[in-house]
Every structure is written in C-alpha cells, then in structure tokens.
Amino acid sequence: MNKMSVKDLKDLKGKKVLVRCDFNVPMKDGKITDENRIMGALPTIKYLLDAGAKVTLCSHMGKPHSIFSKEFKLNKKDQKKVDAGETTAEEIKAKALKDEPVKLTLAPVAKRRSALKEGEAVLIENLRFHWEEEKKDEAFCKALAYDAEIYVNDAFGTAHRSHASTAAIVEYGIIKTAVCGFLIEKELSVMADTLENPARPFVAILGGAKVADKLNVINNLLEKCDTLIIGGGMAYTFLKAKGYEVGTSLLDEEKIDYCKEMMAKAKAAGKELLLPVDTVVTSCFPDPIDGEVDAVTVDSDKIPADKMGMDIGEKTRALYASRIQNAKAVIWNGPMGVFENPTLAKGTIAVAQALADVYGKCTTIIGGGDSAAAVQQLGFADKVTHISTGGGASLELFEGKTLPGIACLNDKE
C-alpha cells in the first residue's frame, strides 16, 4: 500500500482530526443486525483517542435522500420506540469508547467540536441528511472540515463513492494531511495484495443476481485467477451462451454475447471457467421469499421450459468445493442461489462451508454484501481470512478500479 495511514502520523496529541467512518450498519426494527462495520472502525478511533487527538467522527446512514428523518438518524437515542443501547451511536459509544472518559454526542455544531478536549470524540449526525454530501458542495466540505488539521478515511464501505466526506474535502485542498485508517489499510492489504500477487491456484467465485452488474469484475478476475466459478442468477446467461435452454430462469439476453466472449477468453488463456452442472429449479420465484418451494434438481442442460433455476445442485456443490479445497487463495462475492430461502440456500452454504474447511491452508476473502452476511449467519466468520466491510467497494477493487476515497489520500513518502 503506497498510501499513508494513521500510523505514519507523528504527535497526534491535541490534533483535531476528522474521521470518515462507515457506520452504515444494517438495521431491523431499530436494532443493528450486523455490527461488523462498527467493530471495524474501533481500532482507528481508539488509536487516535489514546494518542490524545480531538476526534470528530462522521458517517452516512442509509439513503435518506437529503431529507432528515428519524429512521436514518445515527443517534436514535431520542426515538422512544427504540431501546436505549440498541442505537447506532449508543453502540459505537459502548463498543468503541467503552468506559473511557469520552463524550460522544451529536455535534453538527462547531461549538461542540471547538470544546473537544484531548482524547474526546464527537459524532456528527448522518451526512446524507444534506444534499451537499453527495454533490460534493465546497461550502459543505469547509463546514465539515471546520478546524480539522487531519483527515482520516476509514470508511472502506464508502471508499468507492466520490462524495464530500469521502474525497472532495481533500481534493479541494481543504484538509491537506489525509491518511487512511486501520480498517482501510487492512482491507487493502488483504484484498489488493491478493489480487495483485495471489498464491496459486487462485479461485474467484462470483454469484448474485445479474451478469450486467459484474461485467468488469468477470473480465478483470478472469485475467487474475486460475479458476473462475460462476453461480447464482448470473449463471443462466452463461448457460444460455453455452447453448443450453434455461427455462424461466433469470436471463440477461443482451449479455449472452458477452458471456460467450468471456468463455472464449478463458479458453484462450487456459483458465478454467466453471458453470453449474446441475441446478435446483422451482416453478416460480418464492413469495414470500422464504416461503415453501417445489424444488427439484436437474442437470443444467435439462432445465424444463417452465422451471426457474434457483440454486446450484449437489454435483455442482461438490465440484466447486473440490476447487476450493485445492486453492491457495479464494475470493468470493455473491450468493450461489436465492439464499434467503432455506431450501435454496444450500449452494451458498456449501461454498461457505468449503471455505471454512480450508481455513489456515488458504487465503479466503469474502467480498462483503450477501456472501459476508451468509458466512456470518452460518457462524463461519472466524474461519475465513477476511470479510470485507464493503460489498460495492470490494467489487470495484475486483474490477481493478482505483477507489476515489483512497486515491485522494497522501502517498507514502
């Protein structure tokens, strides 16, 4: 990594530091369902506080579309329906700042920030209540920076966005000293290093709904990996490109030629591109999504005209697991099927299990999003090398893109 990190900064005592975190945690009924991002932000926050910095934390939460609403507040303390202790700000306070003498308050106002003492932190309310955040408004950047001397970006989950708090505040020259936090450093050191210089065999596993969402990812990973494994809804466009009928499965007609091109590219480069050899099919998409289904397994070249492919079959699970078993590095993004339904989650579970089985022998990286949630729900979180806190950001890394939230940071001297 050629970007400076908080570790490279000398003498933080009394320094005013603005830290962009990603506290955009999934919530259900006012409760946090996955606190990975909060936990990931803690090392940087603690480091800065221990060093005596005056810390202002900021983050976005959800998509409030520039309108203030209680639902998207980071601090829901005053929301009667939500139990104290279950709110984002309370959670951060409890986890990050434990019993330390730290003030954690809502502080969009300069007064609070100017009153900060060494080793104290404040949290600014959801940045996306302001349209200026996503539009990179310069006056907003200046207000956000206020009197901060140092900018720390630790919001990996938002590093692929070019917004006021993620990039513009530095790009406009408002804060000159700009470094990454420990979370971004860790995410990059594991993911970028593996992509650049993987141990081999290097296996990439891609799933999820649509091919169209992952065109550049497929193309870039094909160049880097030895085996590319395809599952999920996107597999059917590939199967169609292979000449198979796919019934009523998810199909992206416009991308059939692209899939042909990728298969030819793999062949020419001597890479293995694996598609499901058997498929779990149903008559229709489950409604509700976790409702009952009439699932049967068929070979992938025999999908009936009135059936829909919903998951990889048993033979495919074994095939994919065998490639994982022999791998020295694996990256995975996207479920193998409609994993929200217990009957159709077996393929996704099998991949998660196969990754857990090679723990310690192979670098295993989960690129955030649904696959990260699946690994966590299955209790395999401590049986993989790395679970990214950013689905979109890691996909852009897999595409070979430079993320704006990282590009703007100071280079190492």
Cα separation, 31 vs 82, whole angstroms: 8
Cα separation, 367 vs 355, whole angstroms: 13
Q: Does 399 bind ligand AMP (CB under 6 A)?
A: no
Q: Which of 77, 103, 112, 210 is catalytic?
A: 210
Beta strands in 213-338 (DSSP E): 227-230, 272-274, 278-282, 296-299, 308-312, 329-333
| 30 catalytic residue (yes or no) | no
Q: Of 157, 334, 368, 390, which one interacts with ligand AMP (CB under 6 A)?
A: 334
Cα separation, 211 vs 334, whole angstroms: 11
Q: Does 395 bind ligand AMP (CB under 6 A)?
A: no
Q: Which of 20, 33, 17 is nearest to 127 (CA)?
A: 20
Q: Which of 328, 392, 400, 401 is catalytic?
A: 392
Q: Which token pair is 307?
A: 């059936």
Per CB under 6 A, the segment of 68-76, 208-216, 219-227, 382-390 that binds ligand AMP is 208-216
Question: CB-wise, 82 or 395, nearer to ligand AMP?
Answer: 395
Distance of CA 412 to the CA centre of its chain: 26
Residue 259 to residues 49, 99, 104, 270, 273, Cα–Cα distance (Å): 51, 55, 51, 16, 11
Residue 331's φ and ψ, nearest 5 degrees, are -120, 145
Q: Does 226 bind ligand AMP (CB under 6 A)?
A: no
| 73 catalytic residue (yes or no) | no
List the 227-230 sheet strands across, edge first.
Answer: 272-274, 227-230, 202-206, 329-333, 363-366, 386-387
Q: Of 119, 276, 286, 309, which one interacts with ligand AMP (CB under 6 A)?
A: 309
Per CB under 6 A, the segment of 37-45, 62-70, 132-140, 203-211 that binds ligand AMP is 203-211
Number of separate helices (H) and strands (E) present in the chain:
15, 16
Per CB under 6 A, the segment of 125-133, 269-277, 329-337, 381-389 that binds ligand AMP is 329-337
Per CB under 6 A, the segment of 89-97, 209-217, 264-272, 381-389 that binds ligand AMP is 209-217
| 260 catalytic residue (yes or no) | no
Q: Of 92, 123, 250, 406, which one interacts with ligand AMP (CB under 6 A)?
A: 250
Per the CB < 8 A criterion, the answer to whether 122 and 103 are in contact is yes
Q: Which of 136, 185, 124, 137 is nearest to 162 (CA)?
A: 136
The secondary structure of 321-336 as a DSSP string is HHHHHH-SEEEEES-S
Q: Of 40, 119, 181, 232, which one interacts with ligand AMP (CB under 6 A)?
A: 232
Per the CB < 8 A criterion, the answer to whether 25 and 163 are in contact is no
Per CB under 6 A, the segment of 21-29, 169-177, 333-341, 401-409 that binds ligand AMP is 333-341
Question: CB-wise, 236 or 380, nearer to ligand AMP?
Answer: 236
Q: Does 209 bind ligand AMP (CB under 6 A)?
A: yes
Q: Of 335, 367, 390, 405, which one interacts with ligand AMP (CB under 6 A)?
A: 335
Q: Does 374 bind ligand AMP (CB under 6 A)?
A: no
Name the residue whose CB lies closest to ligand AMP. 208
Question: CB-wise, 92 or 251, nearer to ligand AMP?
Answer: 251
Question: CB-wise, 247 or 369, nearer to ligand AMP?
Answer: 369
| 46 Cβ neighbours under 8 A, 6+ residues apart | 96
Q: Does 370 bind ligand AMP (CB under 6 A)?
A: yes
Q: Does 337 bind ligand AMP (CB under 6 A)?
A: yes
Please measure the distance between the N-terminal and C-terminal CA atoms of the chain and give it in whole angstroms.
Answer: 12
| 392 catalytic residue (yes or no) | yes
Which residues are catalytic, by number? 37, 210, 369, 392
Contacts to ligand AMP by CB under 6 A: 208-210, 213, 232-233, 250, 309-310, 334-335, 337-338, 340, 369-370
